[in-house]
Chains A and B, each alone.
Chain A
Amino acid sequence: MAGVRNRRAIRWLRSQLPELVASGVISSENARAIDGYYEHDQPRVNFAFVILAALGSALVAAGIILLIAHNWDDLSRATRAGVAFLPLLIAQALVVFTLMRRNESRPWREAAAIFDVAAVATAISLISQTYQVQGTFADFMRTWLLLSIVIVYLLRTSLGVIAYVIGCVLWLFARWGPASSAGNPLLFWFLLTLVIPYVAIRFRSDCDSRETATLVITVALAAMFGVGATADFADANVGAIAYAGLATAIYLCGIKFFPQPAGRLHLLALLGGIAIGVVTIVLSFESNWHMTYRVASVPRTSAANLAVVVELLFPIAAVCLASFDLLRRRAEFSLSAALFPIVTAIAWAITHLCEFPNDRWRSTRCSFAAGTVMNCYALLLGIDILARGIRTNSIARANFGLLLIAALAICRFFDNDLSFVARGVGFIIVGVGFLVANLLLFKRRTAS
């Protein structure tokens, strides 16, 4: 991939240089030139130092917030308003100084960004207290996030991005009342989309770094919360397909954009794989396929329809990603995992063959059939992952496949009317499977 610097590969290449010189493949001048060329790719700043600088800055800002939360009664309104602007002005001066004089220093950039973002919150909070300005925590978060996003780009702060994404999720939760739904979550997707260019820039500059991995995982996790809120708002019974699509898309992105040596998985692919397993088990419960008549009878708004479109983007993206690689015969992913959104869509279609009951608690023949499809799929997925694990000699993968089968068995143990004998036999088979697979793998490892 053009423009992408694989730091691990560079490290390996540099370590190979003495051997290549010794065996006469390249001259020592060539080796020095190669070494010099890649020298600037070495991390210049200790990441721990960056974290400490950001943490120190966050502590100072938190201290200021606490002092201000104290709400000084003796000062007049005008004086307190003046004081509210003080930390913000200092933070802004620090940002200007950093941009002019310390633009290449990552700890300075991270610290200045966090200080400025916290100072904005401080100013808004103090003014709110002083002037008894009302408004919800969600309103406060939204304003804060919109005022912070440009700072992320100006100061190129990855910690800022992580904090921003957490803020987006907090905004989503802040609107969820004890008796009310989260409301329209489309702003969440807009806010989350704003960080995508930054993540893409980090990916292009160093796709192999921990920083990039952390960024993509944070965004993926936030998207999971977003899909939940979107499904709740859309109220269109397609949440299952959306979650299946998102989990698969995360898995496929992990495989496609973060290729690893044979037998290994990038953290993003691992997260996607785990999400596929968890969502499959959740959807194997028949009760999750109980559709209600209510959804079809309530008049739909354009915002709710747009939310359905957002939900469906994920399965479409997953199918496109998988099809693209399959057509080019470059598929390195598990086909059974990639089929997840399609299987879920089939189960969803089956539930729509029957008329919906009036309440969610009643099962129909179709919901039972959909549950059965998901159970069969979960079993096949577990077996496939187990087989892949044995084939590639990966103990973790084989055990994950077995874990999936075991989880399926445990779930059916609790919610099915199977006899104790059948349940007992099922558990013995799964237990023996665990033992045999692990024995096989350990033997093979010892032999090799």
Chain B
Amino acid sequence: MKMLRILIFGVVALAQLAVPATMVWQRDQTLKQGRIWKFRTAPVDPVDVIRGRYIALRFTAEEFAAPAKFEAGNKPVYAVLKQSTDGFAEIDHLTTEAAGTDDAVPVESVWWWGGKQQVRFPFNKFWVAEANAAAAEHAYVENNRRDNQNAYVTVRVRRGDAALDQLYIDNQPLSEYLRAHSPQ
């Protein structure tokens, strides 16, 4: 009985280890091999009591002109990306076909209003250090105004998996920007 319990726990322990390990492996593959895309951003900073602090991200690419609402029914929707002339990602079109390529990302919700199609990308939280949260939020807001659009994120896309890589403020990774602009 004791051995059986330990055996069952062995299986459970493997499952407990496998869940975070799979997350690491999948993300690592995408971050190493995925195609890199740059997305322009927009603000907010709520607190997630369980998982520390994060910056909630919005992207300019999440809204684009469309003559009619995209009808997907209950199927999952993917955004096929293209690069604009300034090097940032834009949505070329929406599709319900899972292409599994490096230029299509899944989107969470789709709605249409006033001739514009709106979507939500699944990579909308950027985790930050608790000690840096206030400074990060301040830096993000300061560099994300209409008159000072100076923030973007890089996202790696590999076979439909989108991994948020880095948040850039004034063309520097957030941590470097904060270090350079710290009061000392």
Known: A84-B20, A120-B16, A143-B19. A128 touches B129 (CB 8 A): no
- Contacts A96-B6, A154-B9: A131 and B24 contacting too (C-beta < 8 A)? yes
Contacts of A68 in B (CB 8 A): 52
Contacts of B130 in A (CB 8 A): 69-71
Quick check: which of A53-61, A132-140, A203-211 contacts chain B, the rest being far away?
A: A132-140
Please give, as numbers and ranges, the residues of chain A lying within 8 Å of B31 by CB-CB distance.
Answer: 131
Query: What residues on A are CB-neighbors of B72 within 8 Å?
Result: none
Query: Is B127 located at the chain interface by the 8 A CB criterion?
Result: yes
Contacts of A129 in B (CB 8 A): 51-52, 127
Would you list which residues of chain B between 9 and 30 have a CB under 8 Å from chain A? 9, 12-13, 15-17, 19-21, 23-24, 27-28
Considering only residues 63-86 of chain A, those with a C-beta below 8 Å from chain B are: 65, 68-73, 81, 84-85
Given A132-B164, A134-B123, verify A72-B12 contact (CB < 8 Å): no
Residues of A within 8 A of B8 (CB): 150, 154
The one of A73, A99, A140, A151 that contacts B50, using a Cβ cutoff of 8 Å:
A140
Shortest Cβ gap from B47 to chain A (Å)? 10
Contacting pair A99 B5 (CB below 8 A): yes
Contact with A along B92-130 (1 / 0, CB 8 A): 000000000000000000000000000000111111111
Contact A99 B9 (CB under 8 A): yes
- For A379, what are the chain B residues with a Cβ–Cβ distance below 8 Å? none
| Contact of A154 with B51 in the complex, beta carbons under 8 Å | no
A127 near B9 (CB under 8 angstroms)?
Answer: no
A94 to chain B, nearest CB (A): 11
State whether the Cβ of A372 lies closer than 8 Å to any Cβ in chain B.
no
Contact A127 B24 (CB under 8 A): yes
Q: Give residues 86-122 of A contacting B (CB, 8 Å).
A: 88, 92, 95-96, 99-100, 103, 116, 120-121
Once the chains are docked, how many angstroms separate the CA of A84 from the CA of B127? 15
Contacting pair B12 A70 (CB below 8 A): no
Q: Does B2 contact A (CB under 8 A)?
A: yes
Note all chain A residues with C-beta closer than 8 A to B50: 65, 69, 121, 125, 137, 140
How far, in angstroms, from A296 to B53 measured CA to CA in the complex? 45
Closest to B109 in A: A180
Asked if B175 is an interface residue, CB under 8 A from chain A, the answer is yes
B169 proximal to A (CB < 8 A): no
Q: Which of B9, B51, B122, B128 contacts A128 (CB 8 A)?
A: B51
For B123, what are the chain A residues with a Cβ–Cβ distance below 8 Å?
A: 132, 134
Contact B12 A132 (CB under 8 A): no
Interchain CB contact under 8 A, A73 and B27: no
Structural contact, A70 and B52, CB atoms closer than 8 A: yes
Judge whether A132 and B129 touch: CB under 8 Å: no
Given contacts A70-B52, A151-B12, A154-B9, contact A134 B124 (CB under 8 A): yes
Q: Distance (Å) between the CB of B181 and the closest chain A CB?
A: 15
Collect the chain A residues with CB atoms within 8 Å of residue B33's CB: none
Name A's B-contacting residues (CB within 8 A).
Answer: 65, 68-73, 81, 84-85, 88, 92, 95-96, 99-100, 103, 116, 120-121, 123-135, 137, 140, 143, 147, 150-151, 154
Could you pull out 7 A-B pairs where Cβ atoms are within 8 angstroms? Answer: A73-B175, A88-B17, A125-B51, A131-B23, A133-B27, A147-B12, A154-B12
Given A81-B24, A154-B5, 5 additional A-B pairs, CB 8 A? A69-B53, A88-B16, A92-B9, A147-B19, A154-B8
